[in-house]
């Protein structure tokens, strides 16, 4: 079983960047890449820079058997603040397929997070040891619409029946938000904001 590594967050996107030639599609992929790294790094205010995201984003998420809507900048800020302040922003794909079009990004993935046995993401039904180390996985599909080169929102569907819990044992897989940010810093440097600014020029005449 593959164990989540934060350095794999942009892996599937990088695979697409290696083969996609359309300049607009490449810009969308670069925006998506930077967004993902910033989110797992806990640097969410940079995601909502007007260079990256529209002024009124709309996030619609079906996760954990519940449907959540974050409508507008204030609510989206609240969402990111919640997950970062709660130190639950370290998660990502262990398998992922990314597709890009004029509409935006579509992905299908198995997402994972590694937690200690006393994590609120685990339940008594999981039968875990409070001192153990576990990986939780779910199958997730996402559509991210873009407007004139900027993220318009996120539509996330989690297959609740796909949830699995595996003991990984080794504490080295348990990564803090600070460690995640440090490990992702070199990858973030490969997706500078000025590259996103330059890409927006491709949409100037729309």
Q: What pTM did the predictor assign?
A: 0.96
Q: 2 by DSSP, 3-state: which? A: coil
Residue 205's pLDDT band (cuts 50, 70, 90)? confident
Q: Distances in Å between the alpha carbon of 156 and those of 78, 93, 106, 199?
A: 17, 14, 10, 26
Task: Map out the domains of the chain as residue ranges.
Answer: 6-203
Largest CA distance in the chain: 58
* Tokens (6 digits) for 118: 């006393």
Query: How does DSSP assign 128-159, residue by residue?
Result: --TTSEEEEEEEEEEEEEEETTEEEEEEEEEE
What is the average per-residue pLDDT within 120-141? Answer: 94
What is the average per-residue pLDDT within 155-161? Answer: 95
Rounded Cα–Cα distance for residues 154 and 142 (Å): 7
- Nearest Cα neighbor of 30 from 205, 203, 192 is 192
Q: Considering the chain, what is the average pLDDT of its residues? A: 96
CATH architecture of 6-203: Roll (3.10)
Res 149 pLDDT > 90 = yes
């Amino acid at each position: 079983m593959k164990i989540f590594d934060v350095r794999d967050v942009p892996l599937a996107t990088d695979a697409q960047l290696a083969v996609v030639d359309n300049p607009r599609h490449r810009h969308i992929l670069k925006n998506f890449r930077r967004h993902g790294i910033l989110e797992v790094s806990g640097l969410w205010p940079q995601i909502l820079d007007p260079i990256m995201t529209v002024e009124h984003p709309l996030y619609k998420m079906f996760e954990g058997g519940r449907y959540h809507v974050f409508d507008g900048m204030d609510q989206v800020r609240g969402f990111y603040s919640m997950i970062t302040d709660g130190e639950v922003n370290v998660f990502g794909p262990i398998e992922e397929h990314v597709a890009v079009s004029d509409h935006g990004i579509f992905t299908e993935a198995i997402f994972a997070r590694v937690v200690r046995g006393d994590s609120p993401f685990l339940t008594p039904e999981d039968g875990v040891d409070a001192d153990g180390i576990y990986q939780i996985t779910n199958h997730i599909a996402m559509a991210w619409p873009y407007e004139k080169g900027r993220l318009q929102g996120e539509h996330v569907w989690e297959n609740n029946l796909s949830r699995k819990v595996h003991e990984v044992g080794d504490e080295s897989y348990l990564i803090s938000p600070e460690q995640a940010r440090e490990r992702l810093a070199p990858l973030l440097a490969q997706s500078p904001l000025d590259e996103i600014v330059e890409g927006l020029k491709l949409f100037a005449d729309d």
